[in-house]
Structure 1
Amino acid sequence: MRFELSDEQKMIVETVRKFVTTELDPHADDVERLDEVPAEVAERIRTKAIDAGLYAANMPAEIGGGGLDAVSMTLVERELGRTSYALQMLVARPGNILQACEGEQRERYLLPTVRGERHDCLAMTEPGAGSDVRSMTTRAAREGDAYVLNGTKHFISHADMADFAVVFAATGNPEETPRGPRSAITAFLVDLDTPGLTVRRGSGCVSHRGYHQCELSFVDCRVSATQRLGEEGEGFALMGEWLGASRLSVAATSVGRGRRVLEMATEWAAERRQFGQPVGRFQGVSFPLADLATELEAAELLTLRAAWKQDQPGGMSDRDAAMAKLYATETLARITDQAVQVFGGMGLMAELPVERYWRDARVERIWDGTSEIQRHIISRSLLRPLGA
C-alpha cells in the first residue's frame, strides 16, 4: 500500500481546501446564527461547486459525475469536513444508492441529481426503528400498478432541501422470528410533493445548525411501481451494497474536523500565557494534545485503508467501514472535548467556534449507525467464523 498522494490527489486536496476557505467558511457564522443557509447563498455555492468540478464528485464520470476513486473521494470528504455541515453539503455528493436506478428512473432521478437540478435525501429511520431497521412499521402495500405508503419517518436529514427521497418501507407479510416480526424491506423513489406525503421540520438539534432533520408522514401516499428501486423485498440488500460509503464519509469528515480543531487548540496552547509561559508547556495540556494527534493519525489511516480496500477487487467490508467510523467519530469527540478544556472558559463561548465543533461532534457517534452498532458489526465479524 502506497502512503503518498499522487499529484492529482494533491491537487484535489488543494482545490477543495481553497473552496472551503474562500466559498464556505465566510458564511459559517451566519449559518450558526440563522440556523439556515439563505437560499441565495445556497444557490451561489452550488453553482460555484459545479463550475469548479466539485459537484457530484462521487458519481461515475460516464453519467456526468466527478468519477473519483474511493481514496480521492475520502480526501474530498476530509477537507469538506473542516467547515459547517450545512455549507459543505451544498457541494453535493448524491446518495450512491441512486446508481441502482434503472430505465426512466435514471432520467427522472439519477441524472438530474448529478447535474444539480434535483436534490435527494434518504428516509430510513423511524420513531420506533433506528438501529433495528427491519422493525420499521412504515408499510408499502401493492395495489395494481402502484404501492400505497403509510407510516412515519423521522431524523431525515435535509429533507427540507430535497426534491425526492429514497424511502425504505416494509412490504409483504411479516415473518415471525425469535426477535419478533421482521418484514422484507423495499426501497422507493418518492417525490416530496406527492399527495399523501407531508414533510415537517423536526425539533431543533444542538449539532450542525442549518442542516435540519425532518419528519416525513405518509397517509395513503400512492407511488407508482415504476418508482420502486430494485426488486420488491431487496431493500435491505441495497442498503448493504450502497450505504457503506456513507459511514466512510462520516469517518472522513470527522477526521477533517478533528484536524481543524486540533490545529486551533494547539495554536491557543502556544499563544495563551499563564504563570509567565505558554500553557502548552504544561504537561497537563501538551500530553493530551500529543495523544490526540497520535489518535487522529490512526483514525485517518483506518479511514484511508477502508477507502483503499473499496478501490480493490472485493471492495471494503462492513467491518472496515465500521472500524473507520467508530474510531474516527470517537476520536473527534475526544479532540473537541479536550479543545474546550484547553481554551478554558473561552471554549464554551459562542464568540469562538470551539463550542460549535464540540456540539457538532456529538451526533457523529449516532447517525449512520451508532458506535454500539459499529462495535456489533466488528465483534460479529470476529465471532461468527468461530461459530459464536
Structure 2
Amino acid sequence: MDFALTQEQEMLVKSARTFVEEELYPHEEQVERTDQISPEVRARIKKRALEMGFYAPNMPAEVGGAGLDAVTLALLERELGRANLGLQSVVHRPSNILQACVGEQRETYLLPTISGEKIDCFGLTEPEAGSDVRSMKTTAKADGDDFILNGRKHFISHADIADFAVVFAATGEDDTARGKKKRITCFLIDRGTPGFEILKGYDSVSHRGYHNCILEFDECRVHKSQILGELDKGFDVAGDWLGPERLRLATTSVGRAQRAMELALDYAATRKQFGQTIGKFQGIGFKLADMQTRIETAELLTLRTAWKQDQGIARDEDFAMAKVYASEMVGFVTDEALQIFGGMGLMTDLPLERMWRDSRVERIYDGTSEIQRHIISRALLRPLEAR
C-alpha cells in the first residue's frame, strides 16, 4: 500500500476541509439548539456539494456519481466527519445497493437519487430484530403480481426527509438443521404509498438534526416490479451495503476525533495553571500522546481497509475491525479532550460536549461493538475449526 496521497487526493482533502469549515460549521450551533436543519440551509449545502462534486461520492461516474475510489472516498468522508452529522449528511451518500436497480427502477430511483432530486433511506432494523436480522417480523406476502407488507421498522435514519425507502421483509422461510430460516426480499417503496407511514422516532442525545424514524406497514401493497435484486435474496444486496457503511462510520469517526484533538491540543498549549501551560504536566501530556496514537492507528486501519476494498480483497472482518476500533477510539478521544478542558468541556459554548454525545452511538449502530468482535473472532477461528 502506497501511503502517499496523489495530487488529486490532496486537493480534494483541502477543498473538503474548506467546504466543511465554510458551509457546515457556521450552522452547527443552530442545529444543536433547534434539532432542525432549515430548508434554506439544506438547499444551500446541497447546491454547493453538487457544484464541488461531493454529492453521491460513492456512486460510479457512469450513472452521474462522483465515481471516487474507496480510498479517496474515505478521505472525503473523514473531512465531512468533522461536522455535525445532520449537516454532513446533506451531502447525501445514496445506499450503494441502489446500483442493483434495473430497467425503470434506474430512472425512478437510482438516477434521481444520484442527481439530488430524491433521497433514499434504509429500512432494515426492527424493534425485535436489531443485530439478529433473520428474526425480523416484517412480512411481504405474495398476492398475484403484488406483495402485501405488514410490520414495523425503527431507528431508520433521515426517513423524515426521504422520498422512498429501501425495505427488507420476510417473504418465506426454509427448514434447516438449525431451525427455520427466513427468506428476505428487498423492496423499493415510495413515500405516500397507501399503508406506508413514516412516523417520528425516538428523542436521542446523539446527532441532533439527524433524525431516526419509524416505518409502519399496514396492508401496504407494492408491485413485484419494486423488488430490488431478486426475490428471497435480499441479504445479497444488504451484504453489499453493510461493509462500506461500516467503513464510512469508521472514517467519519476519525474526522471527529481529529477535530477534538485539535481543540484539546490548542487548549493544552495555551491554558495556564500553576505558572505553566497545562500541556507540560505529565497527566495532560500523556493524554495527548495516547489520543494521537489511537487516532493515527484508526486512520491507518480505515485507509488500509479502503485500499483492500479497491483491490477487491476486503472481507467482512476488515470492515468490522475498522468500525469497532475507530468507533471506540472516537469515544476515548472525545472523552479525554473533554477532561482536558475540565468544566468548560461540558458547556455548550464549545462543540466538545456535542462531539462527546455524538460519539456514544457509533459503538451501537451499523452493528454493535460486540457484533463486530463476533465477526472478527469467527473469521479467525473458522480455518482452525475446518482442520
CA distance in 2, matches of 1:182, 1:215: 25
How far apart are residue 263 of structure 1 and its match?
A: 0.7
CA distance in 2, matches of 1:242, 1:254: 18
Is the 2:197–2:216 Cα contact (8 Å) retained in structure 1? yes
Q: Quick one: which amino acid aligns to residue 336 of structure 2? A: Q
Is the 2:121–2:158 Cα contact (8 Å) retained in structure 1? yes
CA distance in 1, matches of 2:280, 2:185: 58
Alignment match, 2:215 = 216
Alpha-carbon RMSD across the aligned residues, in angstroms, is 1.1
Alignment match, 1:377 = 375
* Deviation per residue, 1:162-221 (Å, 9 max, x gap): 10011011111354664x543111101111211101111111100000000000010000
Is the 1:97–1:243 Cα contact (8 Å) retained in structure 2? no
CA distance in 2, matches of 1:262, 1:185: 43
Trace 1:141-160 onto structure 2 (pairs within 5 A). 141-160=141-160
Alignment match, 2:88 = 88
* Deviation per residue, 1:46-98 (Å, 9 max, x gap): 11111111111111000011110000000010000000100000011111011
Alignment match, 1:11 = 11
Counting aligned pairs with the same residue, the percent is 60
CA distance in 2, matches of 1:345, 1:173: 55
Moved over 2 A (4+): 173-178
Matched, 1:343 2:345: no
CA distance in 2, matches of 1:24, 1:37: 11
How far apart are residue 241 of structure 1 and its match?
A: 2.4
How far apart are residue 335 of structure 1 and its match?
A: 0.2
Is the 1:125–1:133 Cα contact (8 Å) retained in structure 2? yes
Q: Which runs of 5+ in 2 are unaligned?
A: none
Q: Structure 2 length as normaliser, TM-score? A: 0.98
Length, aligned pairs only: 386
CA distance in 1, matches of 2:313, 2:98: 19
Stretch moving more, 320-329 or 40-49: 40-49
Alignment match, 2:204 = 205
Alignment match, 2:356 = 358
- Give 3-state SS (helix, strand or coil) of 1:350's partner: coil
How far apart are residue 272 of structure 1 and its match?
A: 1.1
* Deviation per residue, 1:219-251 (Å, 9 max, x gap): 000111000001111111211123211000000
Stretch moving more, 189-198 or 111-120: 189-198
CA distance in 2, matches of 1:164, 1:91: 17
CA distance in 2, matches of 1:163, 1:315: 34
CA distance in 1, matches of 2:219, 2:313: 40
Is the 1:141–1:148 Cα contact (8 Å) retained in structure 2? yes
Matched, 1:325 2:338: no
CA distance in 2, matches of 1:184, 1:211: 31
How far apart are residue 364 of structure 1 and its match?
A: 0.5
Is the 1:269–1:285 Cα contact (8 Å) retained in structure 2? yes
How far apart are residue 311 of structure 1 and its match?
A: 0.6
Distance of aligned partners of 1:382 and 1:326 in 2 relative to their CA distance in 1, 3 Å threshold? same
Trace 1:186-201 onto structure 2 (pairs within 5 A). 186-201=185-200
